[in-house]
Amino acid sequence: MSLLALALVTMVVLTVGYLAYGKFIARQFRLDDSVTTPSVARADGVDFVPTRPFYLLGQHFSAIAAAGPIVGPIVACQQFGWLPCVLWILLGVVFIGAVHDFSALVASVRHGAHSIAEIARVNISPKAWAALVAFIWLALLYVIVAFTDVTVATFTNNDPELAALSGTAFNKGGAVAAASVMYLVLATVMGVVQRFFRWPMWLLTIVFVPATLGVVWLGTKVSTVLVLDTRVWYWIVLGYCLAASMFPLWLLQQSRGYLGGFVLYLAIGIGAVGLLFGGYTVQQPMVADGVGFDGLFRFFAGGEETPGMTTILFPFLFVTIACGACSGFHGLVCGGTTSKQIEKESHCRPVAFGAMLLEGFVAIIALSTVMILTKSQTVGPEGRPLPPGTIYGDGIARFMTILLGPDSLLFAKTFGAMAVATFVFDTLDVATRLGRYLLQELFGARGRLGGLLAALATVGVPLLILLTSERGSYVAYWTLFGTSNQLLAALTLLGISVWLKKNGKRCWYTAIPMVFVMAITVTALVVQITHGARALRAEAIDWTPVVNGLVGLILLALAVFFVIQAAGALRRQSGKAVGA
């Protein structure tokens, strides 16, 4: 199979998905632009800011498109082969992921731009709200741990061969770090200019978007300035997240999201060029050796032939790909920041449904960067697998040189690695902000001091985990991250289904995906809990699976409690819920 065929199939599926199924789902919610949205009714210039859909799409897309659609497909392809990955990404993103995101955004807008947890409080019970807040906060901690480590890996990953090629003291990780820091400063300047000087959007675009590419080039010229130790970067990145989560939206998040959206659009465009015109052929197997449907049974049977946990096709293909097909984190973004900026209800479809389909395309591009490599090309000099971020960044660089020529390799590799950092960085401070919102909701801690304490708690736990773990710890936590993330999507769909049912509306288009994702993620949690229990009984205890198993047990208990509360709400249904 050629990448050209894969690209054509992908574009057809996603286009038809948006125009046909997206339109069908939008009709079910009866969007009404005459309704005053929360961003208009409560406009304060800080959290509630009516925003044009194209501007908001870039911000929303950069917030949701993090490490998941890059790391997940690459790892899954190496474990299971490319065909199962393609099928799950394309079908999952249209019928589950995009429906989840769109439904979560509409539900939040119609509930005063409150979080998914608050919607559960209104439509299910206060106990369900508390359980979901606890679940979400734990899930966010895993998001922050995994994505911080991915970001720092791009800042500390040098490429000696590239340095030799450049003929200078070039440090690839230092170049990416410098470019990323300058990118954040540039976004802040743009936010100030837009706020106080009122430049029109077209002028901001033609000035600051090229400047974003300029900082990538400048990063290659100062690549040795920010060469720092991994743990120092942990402090810096999480310190930034703490500060950014307290800033007003106009100062950094909106402008950074807009610029980040263009970086991501450019990465998608470059990926599309590679798919369509690169002439690459697939080197990875369609289905990996040893992959079958009996792995789950053999795992629970135990014994000497017990398969590795993450080699089991069902359920770990789905949770490994994670955000590339479906992500509960997206519902948090929808209910945490995006719903506070929706100007008209009709904007929900392009912003939420459209952005999720774009993320599916990102996942296919990431998948293609490993599909064109032989097995030996995915292994580093020490015999260990190359980090997924490196595979993706180098793949984007290969595609980019098709346009710019082979002499552009230095710039192309810096841009490819910065694209990874941009995908991830833009999500980290959003995750911290959402964690702050949730803890403030849970404890009723209003005001700046309450927000600061909530933000400190949200970044403090991940910092402790990262400082006491070996480099690359995201690999150990990735499976539970993917599981909790998709189980959160199932719980969100359950809450929305209850809301729709209580309003006398059809809900099969949210209920069926909910049941499917619930079955996948609960099975994955049970496997990880079992794996943790076995590790605890071993002579030499590996504490990572034990901790993951313990957290998995807590997440499972919270999820079961939420389901019981939802069932009770349906039994005692009386009248309509708010937001009809």
Distances (CA, A) of 236 to 125, 229, 242, 397: 40, 11, 10, 27
Return the structure tokens found at 54.
Answer: 């194209």
pLDDT category, 387, cuts 50, 70, 90? Answer: confident
| pLDDT of 381 | 66
**543, 546, 547, 552 alpha-carbon torsion, rounded to 10°:** 160
On average, the pLDDT of the chain sits at 88
Considering only residues 7 and 447, tell me which one the structure prediction assigns the higher pLDDT.
7
**Is residue 342 left, alpha or beta, with left meaning phi > 0 and alpha meaning psi from -120 to 50?**
beta
Question: In this model, does residue 392 exceed pLDDT 80?
Answer: yes
The phi and psi torsions of 44 (rounded to 5 degrees) equal -130, 0
**Is residue 579 left, alpha or beta, with left meaning phi > 0 and alpha meaning psi from -120 to 50?**
left
Cα distance between residue 127 and residue 442, in whole Å: 11
CA count, 13 A, side-chain hemisphere, 418: 33
Q: At what angle do helices 53-64 and 409-443 cross, to 10 degrees?
A: 90
The mean pLDDT value for 77-87 works out to: 94
**Residues 227-259: tens digit of each pLDDT:** 999 999 999 999 999 998 888 878 887 788 788
Contact 70, 277 (CB under 8 A): no
With a pLDDT cut of 70, the percent of the chain lying above it is 95
Question: In this model, does residue 579 exceed pLDDT 60?
Answer: no
| pLDDT of 552 | 94
**Residues 291-343: tens digit of each pLDDT:** 877 888 888 888 777 887 778 899 999 999 988 899 998 998 898 789 999 99
Contact 234, 148 (CB under 8 A): yes
**414, 361, 487, 341 alpha-carbon torsion, rounded to 10°:** 80
- Number of C-beta neighbours around residue 374 at 10 A: 9
Q: What is residue 302's DSSP assignment?
A: -
pLDDT category, 166, cuts 50, 70, 90? Answer: low
| pLDDT of 474 | 63
The mean pLDDT value for 103-119 works out to: 93
Question: In this model, does residue 99 exceed pLDDT 90?
Answer: yes
Alpha helices in 245-346 (DSSP H): 253-277, 295-301, 313-321, 328-336
| Cis, bond preceding 69 (omega within 30 deg of 0) | no
Considering only residues 31 and 259, tell me which one the structure prediction assigns the higher pLDDT.
31
> What is the secondary structure of 525-579 as a DSSP string?
HHHHHHHHHHHHHSSS--HHHHHHHHHHHHHHHHHHHHHHHHHHHHHT--SPPTT
User: By mean pLDDT, which of 236-250, 282-296, 335-349, 406-420 is the weakest?
Assistant: 406-420
**3-class SS at 407?**
helix
Considering only residues 350 and 448, tell me which one the structure prediction assigns the higher pLDDT.
350
Closest CA relative to residue 40, chosen from 50, 32, 31: 50
Return the structure tokens found at 128.
Answer: 């369900």
Q: What is residue 353's DSSP assignment?
A: I
The mean pLDDT value for 490-504 works out to: 94
Distances (CA, A) of 35 to 30, 49, 81, 566: 11, 16, 48, 28
Question: In this model, does residue 475 exceed pLDDT 90?
Answer: no
| pLDDT of 580 | 46
**Residues 498-556: tens digit of each pLDDT:** 999 998 899 999 999 999 999 999 999 999 999 999 988 887 787 788 888 999 999 99
| pLDDT of 409 | 82
Question: In this model, does residue 55 exceed pLDDT 70?
Answer: yes
Looking at this protein, which amino acid is placed at residue 383? G
The mean pLDDT value for 457-485 works out to: 83
Question: In this model, does residue 34 exceed pLDDT 80?
Answer: yes
pTM summary value: 0.88
Q: Report the range out of 267-271, 409-413, 542-546 with the highest average pLDDT.
A: 267-271
Considering only residues 60 and 25, tell me which one the structure prediction assigns the higher pLDDT.
25
Q: At what angle do helices 82-92 and 3-16 cross, to 10 degrees?
A: 20
| pLDDT of 441 | 75
Q: Give the position of tokens 């206060």.
A: 126
The phi and psi torsions of 329 (rounded to 5 degrees) equal -60, -35
pLDDT category, 86, cuts 50, 70, 90? Answer: very high
Question: In this model, does residue 345 exceed pLDDT 90?
Answer: yes
**3-class SS at 234?**
helix
